[in-house]
Amino acid sequence: MIIKNVPAFVFLIALAASACSGSETAAPLRSAPSSATTTPPTTTPSSSTVTVANDTGSSLRAEFASLEEPYASADYARGRRTFRLCQSCHTVTEGGPNLVGPNLHGLFGREVGTMPGYSYSAAVNDADFVWTPERLDEWLTNPRSFLRGNKMSFAGVRKPEDRLAVIAYLMVETAPSE
Ligand code: HEC
């Protein structure tokens, strides 16, 4: 009896061992691609993470997504393209020079007409509001009529989707770095 049981027992261990090694080889194969994510039970979350990461490309485009709507859905490429209209007169980087127009760094949340070292028109100097995306949308819709007598000689951005995109672009680009 004892002699008979031993081979059966050994056989079971061998079976269990082979089953184990079988699942060991399968497991790394499955978890390897999603090793970055801690919860890989379903493929959907990890694959969508990968998609976002691929789309991100630049950190700027990723920051777009973190803005509040409707700016999060704005078209990044369109925003950058539209900003070319402003570029000859405005810089956006911290400590960037005032050109024909003032440097726009830290624009949102800033009182209108307060970039140090820039000489504003009386119209802008006398204005009293804080820049928000909504205010900028009004300004860019028709710069001339928004603050009568201002000296920004710019026709404005006519298409709403261009304004939305360039505002989203500026929300990211002029944001003070932390
Ligand atoms: C031809 C030059 C020119 C172009 C192009 C131009 N601006 Fe300006 N911008 C100015 C000038 C000049 C002022 C100052 C106006 C004043 O003092 O009356 C100004 C002021 C501003 C201000 C107010 C800043 C503050 O400190 O309160 C904002 C915001 C602004 N521009 C955004 C834009 C954006 C966005 C674009 C492009 C879509 C643009 N501008 C295109 C010349 C320009």
pLDDT score at 146:
94
pLDDT score at 149:
95
Ligand 1 atom nearest to CA at 153: 1
pLDDT score at 30:
44
Ligand 1 atom nearest to CA at 140: 38
Ligand 1 mean position to 57 CA, how many Å? 30
pLDDT score at 17:
46
pLDDT score at 178:
67
Tell me how far the alpha carbon of residue 104 is from its chain's centroid: 19
| pLDDT tens digits in sequence order for the chain, 178 residues long | 455 555 554 444 444 444 444 444 444 444 444 444 444 444 444 333 333 333 434 677 778 888 999 999 999 899 999 999 999 999 999 999 999 999 999 999 999 999 999 999 999 999 999 999 999 999 999 999 999 999 999 999 999 999 999 999 999 999 987 6
CA 25 to each of CA 16, 17, 100, 117: distance values in angstroms, whole numbers, following the listed order = 14, 12, 66, 67
Distance CA 133, CA 129 (A): 12
Q: What angle do CA 19, 21, 22 make, to 5 degrees?
A: 60
Ligand 1 atom nearest to CA at 120: 17
What are the pocket residues of ligand 1 if the criterion is a CB atom closer than 6 Å to any ligand atom? 85-86, 88-90, 100-102, 104, 107, 112-113, 115, 120-121, 123-124, 136, 139-140, 150-154, 157, 166
